[in-house]
Amino acid sequence: MTNQRNDLPVAIIGAGPIGLAAAANMIERGLTPLIFEAGAGVGAAIRNWGHIRMFSSWEHNIDPASRRLLEPAGWTEPRLTSLPYGTEIVDDYLKPLAAVPAIQDALHLASTVTAVSRVGMDKTRSRDRDEQPFLIRVESADGTVTDHHVRAVIDASGTWAQPNTLGQAGLPAPGERDAIAAGLITEPLADVTGKGRDRFVGKHVLVIGAGHSAANTLIALGQLAKNQPGTRISWAVRGTNVSRVYGGGDLDGLPARGQLGTRLRGLVEEGHIELHTSFTTTSFATTDQGLAVTGITPNGEVTLNVDLLIPATGFRPNLEILREIRLELDPIVEAPRDLGPMIDPEFHSCGTVPAHGAKVLTHPDKDFYIAGMKSYGRAPTFLLATGYEQVRSIVAALAGDQAAADQVHLELPETGVCTTDLGGSCDVPSEETTVLDEASSSCCAAPEPVLTRVE
Query: Could you tell me the residue ranges of all domains in the chain?
Result: 3-161+315-445, 168-311
Rg (CA), the chain: 22
Element of type H or E holding 410: strand 407-412
- Rounded to a whole number, what is the distance in angstroms from the first to the last CA of the chain? 30
Cα 79 to Cα 61, 76, 174: the distances in Å are 12, 9, 48
Contact 371, 22 (CB under 8 A): yes
DSSP E strands in 64-156: the ranges are: 107-108, 111-118, 134-140, 145-150, 152-155
Assign domain 3-161+315-445 to its CATH architecture. Answer: 3-Layer(bba) Sandwich (3.50)
Model confidence over 325-383: pLDDT tens digits? 999 999 999 999 999 998 887 765 434 677 899 999 999 999 999 999 999 999 877 87
Residue 180 has pLDDT above 70, yes or no: yes
Identical fold, 3-161+315-445 and 168-311: yes
Contact 317, 374 (CB under 8 A): yes
Topology (CATH level 3) of domain 168-311: FAD/NAD(P)-binding domain (3.50.50)
- Share above pLDDT 70 across residues of the chain, in percent, rounded to a whole number: 85
Q: How far apart are CA 443 and CA 350, in angstroms?
A: 7
Q: Which 8-state DSSP code applies to residue 374?
A: G
Q: How far apart are CA 286 and CA 236, in angstroms?
A: 19
Q: Please tell me the chain's helix, strand, coil percentages from 3-state DSSP, rounded to the nearest 5.
A: 30, 20, 45
Q: What is the pTM of this model?
A: 0.86
Tell me how far apart the 2 most distant CA atoms of the chain are, in Å.
69
Model confidence over 408-429: pLDDT tens digits? 987 655 433 232 222 222 222 2
302 vs 454: which has the higher pLDDT: 302
Model confidence over 60-113: pLDDT tens digits? 899 999 999 999 999 999 999 998 999 999 999 999 999 999 999 999 999 999
Strands 134-140 and 145-150: antiparallel
Strands 273-276 and 232-236: parallel
